[in-house]
Amino acid sequence: MTDGLERTVTALDIGFARLAFSAGSSNLADGIFKLALPIAAIAFTRSPALVAGLELMRSLPWLLFALPVGALADRMDRRQTMIVANVARAVSVVVLATVLQNGGGSIALLYAVAMGTGVAEVFYDTSSQSIIPALVKRDRLERANGRLGAIELATQQFVGPPLAGVLVGVALAVAFWTTAALWIIAVAALWALRGTFQPARATEPSRLRTDIAEGLGSLMANPLLRTMAAMVGVANLASSATGAVFVLYAVGPDSILGLDETQFGFLILTAAAGSISVTLVNEHLVARVGRARVLNISVIGMVVFTGTPAITTNVWIIAGSMFIGGALIMTWNIITVSFRQAVTPDHLLGRVNSVYRLLAWGTMPLGAGVGAVIAETLGLRAVFSIMGMVAASLIIPNRTITDAKLETAEADR
């Protein structure tokens, strides 16, 4: 009996390791791509609206397709969905790299690639969060999400941005060729992940509209998930508004900070450094302080993260605020994602994740648009000032989340 249990645990560990390796490669590709794309844009335009529009276009698919994709994710094998999504992203970036290498390119092409990769990202991310409970036990979800979060941030924000700066310094096309290669490596790792990851259903799939309504009803029936989704939506609106114009605030001799591309990459990675650091102590922090109190502290991190560039142009202070903000936001993500996975039945997980992401990420294109409008009318620093106040408003709903409510919801699962 013991041998069988050990074999099961070993199989799960191997499966999770393969998923983690794939996540690392895929997120490193994301990190390079997300920095290289706006840098490519400023070669064609210095308009804040057009540069911010790239982030709007990349995040718009979450608003348009999150709900149907979630319903489809609960019908399809989640591993296969992730493979197809990464192949699609790699192909679209190969096209962009080929055009740039031959001296072509335009802001319109960047918009098309941003939209195409954004659609694939909806499929990939919805399935990737839904596949984790099939690989680890429920009592290990926070640890697994913490490790994946550390891998995601280490690759996407710690290694990716400075590497993107170096690659762009060689040639824009090189950055995008590297991105495509990393997505293909991620596909190979997923291919080696054994097993079937199609959720079991008690009944045959109904109409897509009915499936979507079931997922929406499941999330809305849980007051804690409703509150968390709404809070992340507001936080992402604020961070998307500031993130969409941050390259204009920081990069170039005529920018406020006056950084070059490589320096900008290193500035961005300070947030990732904070996020990675906190994953090493997150379990002990939650055990000592409590989940609800950690979530309250995390809101302060969101305010610091978005608002600091409004009150100072000292790059060291901004870097410090990004480190602190990154650490506290990471604790929020680990706790809330693990809670969502713990209280949601597997056959509903794709749909609940997609509804949550719609509420949480559907505000990102709106935020990018708002950031562009504020920057054009009031100036770049006004974006950070206004969005810092928006983030501060999250203190009010966050106080309704208590440890007792979290524990009761998990017990009732």
Q: What value, to the nearest 5°, has the Cα angle with vertex 255 and ends 251 and 260?
A: 30
* pTM (global) more than 0.85: no
CA angle 81, 87, 88 (to 5 degrees): 90
Q: Ranked by mean pLDDT, which of 137-146, 166-175, 377-386 comes out on top?
A: 377-386
**Does residue 234 have a pLDDT over 80?**
yes
- Spatial distance between the Cα atoms of 270 and 272, rounded to a whole number of angstroms: 5
Q: What is the pLDDT of residue 153?
A: 67
Query: Is 309 exposed, middle or buried (CB count within 10 Å of its CB: 0-12, 13-18, 19+)?
Result: buried
Instruction: Determine which of 200-209, 232-241, 333-342 has the lowest per-residue pLDDT on average.
Output: 200-209
Sign of dihedral through CA atoms 205, 206, 212, 213?
negative
List of domains in the chain: 2-194+208-411 (1.20.1250.20)
Write down the pLDDT at residue 164.
Answer: 84
What pLDDT shows up at residue 381? 92
Q: Is the pLDDT of residue 230 over 70?
A: yes
- pLDDT above 50 (res 77): yes
Name the pLDDT band for 356 (thresholds 50, 70, 90).
confident
Give backbone dihedrals phi and psi of 44, rounded to 5 degrees, phi first: -110, -20
If one compares 370 and 357, the residue with the highest pLDDT of the two is 370
DSSP 198: P
CA gyration radius, the chain = 21
What distances in angstroms separate CA 24 from CA 21, 77, 146, 306, one per listed residue?
5, 21, 13, 26
Residue 5: pLDDT band (50, 70, 90) is very low
Q: Is the pLDDT of residue 360 over 50?
A: yes
pLDDT at 6: 36
Looking at the predicted structure, is the pLDDT value of residue 102 above 80?
A: yes
Q: Is 60 helix (H, G, I), strand (E, B) or coil?
A: helix
**Residue 11: which of 150, 193, 167, 161 has the closest Cα?**
193
Position 43 pLDDT exceeds 70: yes
Q: Which residues contact 265 (CB under 8 A, 6 or more apart)?
A: 35, 161, 162, 163, 164, 165, 166
Number of other CB atoms surrounding residue 383 within 10 Å: 31
| Residue 388, H or E segment | helix 380-392
Q: pLDDT at position 94, please? A: 95
Residues 6+ positions from 17 with CB-CB distance below 8 Å: none
CA distances from 48 to 41, 125, 130, 239, 245 (A): 10, 28, 36, 16, 7
Which of 77-86, 147-156, 163-172 has maximum average pLDDT? Answer: 77-86
The pLDDT assigned to 303 comes to 92
Would you give the DSSP letter of residue 259? B
Give the Å distances, CA to CA, from 55 to 20, 110, 156, 219, 357. Answer: 26, 11, 16, 27, 16
> Does 122 have pLDDT greater than 80?
yes
Q: Which two structure tokens, joined as six digits, stand for 404?
A: 């007792």
Through-space distance between the first and last CA atoms of the chain, rounded to whole angstroms: 28
- Which among 322, 189, 342, 229 has a CA at the least distance from the CA of 267? 322
